[in-house]
Amino acid sequence: MLERFLVPKEDQILIESESMTQATKQIFLKMGLSEDDAQLSSEVLMTSDLRGCESHGVSNMLPIYVDRFGEGAKDLGINPTPNFRITRESPTTANIDGDDGLGLHVLPKAMEIAIEKAEKYGSGSVAVHNSRHIGMLAYHSMMALEHDMIGLTMTAGNSMAMVPTHGAEKRLSTNPWAYAVPADKEPPFVFDVATTQVAGNKLSLAKRVGAKMDSAWITDSKGNPILNEVDLPDDREDYMMLPFGGTRENGSHKGYGYAAVAEIFSDILSGMGPGFLMPPNTYGEMGHFVQVIIIDGFIDVDKFKKDMDLFLKGLAETKPIDGQERVVYAGLPEFEETQIRLKEGIPYHYKVIDWFENIKAELNLDFDLKKM
Amino acid sequence: MLERFLVPKEDQILIESESMTQATKQIFLKMGLSEDDAQLSSEVLMTSDLRGCESHGVSNMLPIYVDRFGEGAKDLGINPTPNFRITRESPTTANIDGDDGLGLHVLPKAMEIAIEKAEKYGSGSVAVHNSRHIGMLAYHSMMALEHDMIGLTMTAGNSMAMVPTHGAEKRLSTNPWAYAVPADKEPPFVFDVATTQVAGNKLSLAKRVGAKMDSAWITDSKGNPILNEVDLPDDREDYMMLPFGGTRENGSHKGYGYAAVAEIFSDILSGMGPGFLMPPNTYGEMGHFVQVIIIDGFIDVDKFKKDMDLFLKGLAETKPIDGQERVVYAGLPEFEETQIRLKEGIPYHYKVIDWFENIKAELNLDFDLKKM
């Protein structure tokens, strides 16, 4: 993550991760989730916070989920006890009705089905419709790793955010992708990105930590890329997000194209139709797509993993340009951050901890956030 | 394609496409390809020229192929009569030894195997090792369209071109991707991009038409992104290519990540190992990966295609920003260009036509390029 998104040192409170998992689980239980779903959902959020991806951890998302559980299962609302069912399948494909359940615990079940199919036939692809936010995509793709499979996750929804290249109107969400690929001794390759210049959740993070938007991150209200550093406007109507690349010359049509692919797999293949025709609700209805493929269907797993080590080590040992300490690959800094945060705790903004203390009182919960 | 890559009007000669296909086929036959392989290879190149993607048509690639056929099957050379065989498979996966054959005709056979598997099981993925250049990726992905499947193609090789984000050394090739997705009445979505800022072949095109490099397209010899417009240096050692996005702030880590994924699927899953450990030969050994997935395994094909129409039409009808005529989606301009070029001919640079006339004399061929 870029430096600018980090919680400033003076605003940080370090919390031990297991105590935060327990606090989060209690909140999910109070929302009506089953024991298993509450546990799983907490783990997904905490994996995000441990990996240094706080944009998708408890800070941004949990307050929104809590609001939405209150609204019932219509449009914005989340159904705490969804009736998850397969609506169509073939030996290696399935489409699942998420019944307005929270994607955090709905999607891992879809991924399990994909993995079962791949164990039998070599690959498995599952689309999910009528679902909600899935948190950090990497969690779901990483489920493939221990099975010696390559995992892919995409998601899209009605949260209109992105203009197409040269467009003056929003047509797409932030439509992220994540791949996870196992290695032998090196930390796995885990590539998790929004197809906008910056993930949607990072905008709220930027707001909290007082960071500016860089050149070609957002447009003005007419769709023109803003090419200087600016504050994020307060009103969501006053800006739109650009596909990654930013301008046509720097490849924004590529960000736009990958966004369209995520939309096709998540929303259209799952039967929900184009996101821009859904009701315009942020974090409302969403479709997802997961896919796994067995390495052993192509080559010896052992050779593959050793070659992955050579590849990843070679990337990380690339000579850096002047002024940069090193070159990394996707998943390496997140792996390193996890080791640090497991030992030293997770740095939360004090306002986040305030929120937990308030909701603890409000909902009459019994947890103890352990400071490090 | 950006305006700057077009052949200037005064240098253009318009040639009827069928006569160019026949000329190309004759050259391939003279190189020792079978009748079928020569026909197929010519069609792949001509599909590229018809779609306005002349970077991957006869202009850039045919002269290189002709050189390489002369060198035999070692390292740089191309084997005109490869012994294509499956080295491992599962119900939905296969790995294929391309036996140093030209990817133009090797990869369509791999795609056919993927399609057969998908017809039985819902999806099919095929990796290819020991292959050569495959031309425009879109051709191969588009094979899925008439089967109501979504097609994906990736490729990678030892043609070291791209620095990783913050890197001062080349570590990846231009590692392109292409998706093709069918629609009902609208032209299909066909998204075909290099993971560098600009496709490798467009650099030679730029040279021929005298176009400049834009900001953050290439680096200097030390790996620093060049942020002003420059001519492409004559010596390949004097520059390196940047991942799409260009700079870290504009998302070059995303281009780098997608490039790494193409490398993993094409080179590592196929058993060739990381590209940067192969002998550094442009257009030498390459690995590829194709995948198809049946729409019917998730949802009624009819509903999917009608939703695709809504999606694609919605994108193309997006209000453009001031100064832009319209918004397009991937595959739309290429579809339109094909209709025009079928009628009016393909605009080649006169130097390209000179090359054809020279090789016709040199190899004692009998074709007639029909001017329009």
> Of the candidates A168, A193, A268, which has its C-beta nearest B320's C-beta?
A168
pLDDT of residue A73: 55
B159-173 mean pLDDT? 92
Q: Do the domain assignments include residue A372? A: no
pLDDT of residue B257: 98
pLDDT of residue A267: 97
Q: Is B151 touching A (CB cutoff 8 A)?
A: no
Q: Is A262 touching B (CB cutoff 8 A)?
A: no
Residue of A198 and B225 predicted with greater confidence? B225
pLDDT at residue A137 above 80?
yes
pLDDT of residue B307: 98
- Is B125 in Cβ contact with A297 (below 8 Å)? yes
Residue of B61 and A171 predicted with greater confidence? A171
| Spatial separation of the C-alpha atoms in residues A261 and B180, rounded to whole Å | 9
- Is A90 in Cβ contact with B297 (below 8 Å)? yes
B161-171 mean pLDDT? 95
Identify the DSSP state of A71.
T
A336-347 mean pLDDT? 96
User: For residue A201, what are the contacts with CB-CB under 8 A and spacing of at least 6?
Assistant: A55, A56, A60, A61
A296-319 mean pLDDT? 98
pLDDT at residue A7 above 90?
no
pLDDT at residue B171 above 90?
yes
pLDDT of residue B7: 81
Q: Among A26-40, B164-178, B241-255, B300-314, name the one with the lowest average pLDDT.
A: B241-255
Q: Among A180-194, A203-217, B118-132, B247-261, name the one with the lowest average pLDDT.
A: A203-217
Q: By the 8 A CB rule, do B330 and B52 touch?
A: no
Cβ pairs bridging A and B (under 8 Å): 284
| Spatial separation of the C-alpha atoms in residues B107 and B127, rounded to whole Å | 9
Residues recorded for chain B = 372
pLDDT of residue B281: 67
Helices B17-30 and B58-69: angle between axes, nearest 10 degrees: 10
Position of tokens 């990380």?
A316
Residue of B31 and B211 predicted with greater confidence? B31
Q: In this predicted model, what pLDDT tens digit does every residue of B238-268 receive, in sequence order? A: 999 999 999 888 889 999 999 999 999 999 9
Domain assignment of residue A355, given as a range: 10-362
Nearest CA in chain B to A88: B298
pLDDT of residue B72: 62
What burial letters (b/e) apply to B85-118, b meaning 16+ CB within 10 Å? Answer: eeebbbbbbbbbbbbbbbbbbbbbbbbebbbebb
pLDDT of residue A61: 85
pLDDT of residue B2: 62
Q: Do the domain assignments include residue B28? A: yes
A119-126 mean pLDDT? 98
DSSP H helices, chain A, are 17-30, 35-50, 58-69, 103-121, 137-142, 200-209, 252-263, 301-316, 332-344, 350-362
| Spatial separation of the C-alpha atoms in residues A128 and A94, rounded to whole Å | 8
pLDDT of residue A60: 81
Confidence of residue B75 (pLDDT cuts 50, 70, 90): low
Q: Do the domain assignments include residue A368? A: no
> Of the candidates A223, A257, A295, which has its C-beta nearest B330's C-beta?
A257
> Of the candidates B150, B251, B327, which has its C-beta nearest A166's C-beta?
B327
pLDDT at residue A110 above 90?
yes
What burial letters (b/e) apply to A57-87, b meaning 16+ CB within 10 Å? Answer: bbbbbbebbbebbeeebeebbbbbebebeee
pLDDT of residue A22: 97
A205-216 mean pLDDT? 81
Q: Do the domain assignments include residue A2? A: no
Q: Is A257 touching B (CB cutoff 8 A)?
A: yes
∠ CA A245-B219-A315, rounded to 5°: 80
B176-182 mean pLDDT? 98
> What three-state secondary structure class fits B15?
strand
pLDDT at residue B5 above 80?
no
- Is B253 in Cβ contact with A330 (below 8 Å)? yes
**Measured between CA atoms, how close is B226 to chain A, in angstroms?**
13
pLDDT of residue A4: 66
pLDDT of residue B201: 75
pLDDT at residue B6 above 70?
yes
pLDDT at residue B154 above 70?
yes
A257-276 mean pLDDT? 97
ipTM reported for the complex, 2 dp: 0.96
Mean per-residue pLDDT over chain A, rounded: 93
DSSP H helices, chain B, are 17-30, 35-50, 58-69, 103-121, 137-142, 200-209, 252-263, 301-316, 332-344, 350-362
Q: In this predicted model, what pLDDT tens digit does every residue of B126-138 receive, in sequence order? A: 999 999 999 999 9
User: For residue A356, what are the contacts with CB-CB under 8 A and spacing of at least 6?
Assistant: A23, A58, A369
> Of the candidates B294, B311, B329, which has its C-beta nearest A93's C-beta?
B294
Q: Is A171 touching B (CB cutoff 8 A)?
A: yes
Q: Among A42-46, A211-215, B303-307, name the one with the lowest average pLDDT.
A: A211-215
Confidence of residue A72 (pLDDT cuts 50, 70, 90): low
Q: By the 8 A CB rule, do A341 and A17 touch?
A: yes
B95-122 mean pLDDT? 97
Q: In this predicted model, what pLDDT tens digit does every residue of B280-339 receive, in sequence order? A: 766 678 999 999 999 999 999 999 999 999 999 999 999 999 999 999 999 999 999 999
Q: Is A145 touching B (CB cutoff 8 A)?
A: no
Among B130, B131, B134, CA closest to B143? B134
pLDDT at residue B3 above 70?
no
pLDDT of residue A74: 59
Q: Residue A106 corresponds to which tokens in the numbers above?
A: 């709905």
pLDDT at residue B87 above 70?
yes
Q: Do the domain assignments include residue B371? A: no
pLDDT at residue A169 above 80?
yes
- Provide the number of structural domains found in chain B: 1
Q: Is A215 touching B (CB cutoff 8 A)?
A: yes
CATH number assigned to the domain comprising residue B19: 3.30.1370.60
Confidence of residue B1 (pLDDT cuts 50, 70, 90): low
> Of the candidates A164, A189, A251, which has its C-beta nearest B260's C-beta?
A189
Q: Among A331-345, B5-19, B312-326, name the one with the lowest average pLDDT.
A: B5-19
Q: Do the domain assignments include residue B18? A: yes
Q: Is A2 touching B (CB cutoff 8 A)?
A: yes
**Measured between CA atoms, how close is A32 to chain B, in angstroms?**
30
Q: Is A255 touching B (CB cutoff 8 A)?
A: yes
Confidence of residue A69 (pLDDT cuts 50, 70, 90): confident
Helix (H), strand (E) counts: chain B = 10, 11
pLDDT of residue A157: 84
Q: Do the domain assignments include residue A316? A: yes
**Measured between CA atoms, how close is B274 to chain A, in angstroms?**
5
pLDDT at residue A3 above 80?
no
A124-132 mean pLDDT? 96
Among B233, B263, B337, CA closest to A314? B263
Q: In this predicted model, what pLDDT tens digit does every residue of B35-47 receive, in sequence order? A: 999 999 999 999 9
Q: By the 8 A CB rule, do B157 and B98 touch?
A: no
A360-369 mean pLDDT? 94
∠ CA A237-A238-A240, rounded to 5°: 80
Q: Do the domain assignments include residue B367? A: no
